[in-house]
Amino acid sequence: MNRTLDKNILLYSPVVGYNQLAKYYAEGKWFKFWNENEIPIVRKYLETIKPKAVLDAGCGTGIYLNLLMSLGVQYYTGVDISEGMLKHALMKNFNLTSQYKRQISFIRSSIEKFSTNIKFDTAICTRVLSNNNSNNKIIENICNNLTSNGYLILSDVHPLHNYQHSGFETPKGKININTYKHSLYELRRILKKYGFMIQDFGEYNFYSLKHKPLIREFEKLYTNPENMIFYTVLAQKV
């Protein structure tokens, strides 16, 4: 369902918005930003825990699949509610999915409701929580699909980041998607509720970035460098 933010902006639900955005997602400036600043942190987590069976909760176009297989992951399941994003995940990773067709699978489902016969030793959930109005059911179901002592890797836009919704420029115009801001205190509480012990919690502003984006594309980050941009979490189920 769509709703109007104001007289000039049409705000899409995440399902509708990402279906429309899927074709152009990898062309956006934020896609490059996350590749250069989020992925290296997640990679460090992965290299530390050495996962073998990974759940990619909210996998989108499968940007972590290549990295995970290169690190020796034996089983990968990507879950996403957007049919468009999953379609492009399969197209983008056709060679990998053909080579490892018994080890790689994609499921179209909400993260709160999916289920499989596999228990995963690691789950990654990147830039997903801000697309949902509640984190509780997401964390609960991820927990239910993890092995004992399994790991959860989270990342998302920081709730203190100065934005009201996600906006993506495409050749057919801007696509604005509804987002939700969740306090980090509440996130910590939910993780504790479902038996996760936090091993690392990083918060990043402009000064923290290893790869500074182009000023012409991210002028606001340069204007307010102290403002938080995103966070990452490594937690273990105990």
Cβ count near 92 (within 10 Å) = 17
Q: At 228, is the secondary structure helix, strand, or coil?
A: strand
In angstroms, rounded to a whole number, what is the distance separating the alpha carbons of residues 62 and 201? 24
Q: Give the pLDDT score at 4.
A: 53
Q: Give the pLDDT score at 150.
A: 98
CATH-assigned architecture of domain 3-237: 3-Layer(aba) Sandwich (3.40)
Q: Give the pLDDT score at 9.
A: 84
User: Which tokens is 230 given?
Assistant: 């995103």
| Side chain identity at residue 184, one-letter code | L
Contact 150, 237 (CB under 8 A): yes
To the nearest 10°, the Cα dihedral for 187, 191, 193, 197? -140
Neighbour order of strands in the sheet with 173-177: 3-4, 10-12, 173-177, 166-170
What letter does residue 121 receive in the DSSP assignment?
A: E
pTM of the shown model: 0.95
Q: What is the pLDDT along the chain (238 residues), one digit of tens a residue?
A: 555 555 578 899 999 999 999 999 999 999 999 999 999 999 999 999 999 999 999 999 999 999 999 999 999 999 999 999 999 999 999 999 999 989 999 999 999 999 999 999 999 999 999 999 999 999 999 999 999 999 999 999 999 999 999 999 999 899 999 999 999 999 999 999 999 999 999 999 999 999 999 999 999 999 999 999 999 999 999 9
User: Which tokens is 65 given?
Assistant: 């699949």
In angstroms, rounded to a whole number, what is the distance separating the alpha carbons of residues 60 and 46? 19
| Side chain identity at residue 75, one-letter code | Y
Which residue in 229, 216, 170 sits closest to 28, CA to CA? 170
Q: Give the pLDDT score at 39.
A: 97
Cβ count near 49 (within 10 Å) = 16
